[in-house]
Each structure stands twice: as C-alpha cells, then as structure tokens.
Amino acid sequence: MKKITIADLMSIEAYEVQRPAIRQAIMEHKKTRRVALGPNAMLHFEDYMVMRYQVLELMRVEKITAEADLLEELRAYNPLIPDGNNLKVTFMLEYPDEEERSLALSQLIGIEELISIQIDGFSPVYPVTNEDLTRSTEEKTSSVHYLRFEFDTEMIRAAKAGANWTIRSEHLNYPHSATKLPPDVTQSLQRDFD
C-alpha cells in the first residue's frame, strides 16, 4: 500500500473547502475498517486513506505548513499504513465510566498480546505490539495499543479468495471473538494486502 507524500497533501485553505466532503467519505470508509470485539474493545484498521485524513486534520488544527514539519508528521503517520503483508490496528479499550475503566485496565494487563486474527485453515496470527513505546505497566494496561499483524503468502491468498476471518481476545478476563466479519469489512481489509 502506498505511503503518504507531500504531493498527496493540500494547502490548509484547499482542505478547508473540501473538508466536509472528505470528512463524509472518511466516516463512511471507517465503517468498513472497524471491528467490535465484545462490548468494550474496538479494532480500528488503519490505511492510507485514514492516515492521510489524520495528517490533513493535524495540519488544519495546528496550522502546519512548513515542509520540514510536514515531513516529520509523515514519518510519524506512514508507519501506521499497512505494507502489503500486514494489517495495522489501533486497538482501543472503551469504558465510558472512569471507575469501571480503571478497574478493567488493571485486570486486562497483557491483552494486547492476546488478540489474534485467524484466516480459516491457518493458525492464528498474534501481533507485534506497541513498537513505538511500552503502553502497559505492572499495575494496568493502556486503553490504546498499536498492533501489527504479519501474514504469510498463503494466508493472504486465502483471505483474498474469501476465506472467513475470526478475531479473538484470548485474555482470561476478556474472552470475546468476532466471527463472520461483514463482507464490506473483509473486502476493505483485503485491499491492505495489495
């Protein structure tokens, strides 16, 4: 999958004009990039389109125009775009109540390493986690984790041919799974392997 370049961006002024249409398109696109895992966890599958939008929004909010500053942002966001043999995910634990969230995060230490994606006919794939920094302590886990799932050629071939996907949390305190993902989601994720 292609990475974002300076040429893929636009001026803040041009973006302001196009922002309502771009925002609407992104909201629709993101619907095919999210998978709920039980009642309190969500996987957000990142891609070029989502990351480009994030950079444009950052430029708008922080008034970033200097090329050196833009290149710095691209260095931060481009690693979140899949490379053709992987999926990149922002994994979020969502507990609206602060007390419930605090308790849950203390009981879910290590959950990020126990999330798997399985293509039918193959072993589950577990992620490389939080490559940027450690997000868990001995007392609690973070509510946000960055995951990279690496797939081999045969798995990718099966996924593109329409094999079923199963996503699981194998953490003892959060045993949930998502099976039979909607077709629009699997089709969207299959494009990450191009």
pTM of the model as a whole:
0.92
Report residue 110: phi and psi, to 5°: 85, 0
Q: Which residues of 105-128 are buried (b: 16+ CB within 10 A; e: fewer)?
A: beebbebbbbbbbbbeeeeebbbe
* CATH architecture assignment, domain 35-46+82-194: Sandwich (2.60)
Region 58-76 average pLDDT: 94
Pairing of strands 115-119, 165-171: antiparallel
The 10s digit of each residue's pLDDT in 119-137 is: 999 999 999 997 776 777 7
User: What is the domain partition of the chain in residue ranges?
Assistant: 1-31+48-81, 35-46+82-194
* CA 108 to centroid of chain Cα atoms: 19
Residues ≥6 apart with Cβ < 8 Å to 173: 107, 108, 111
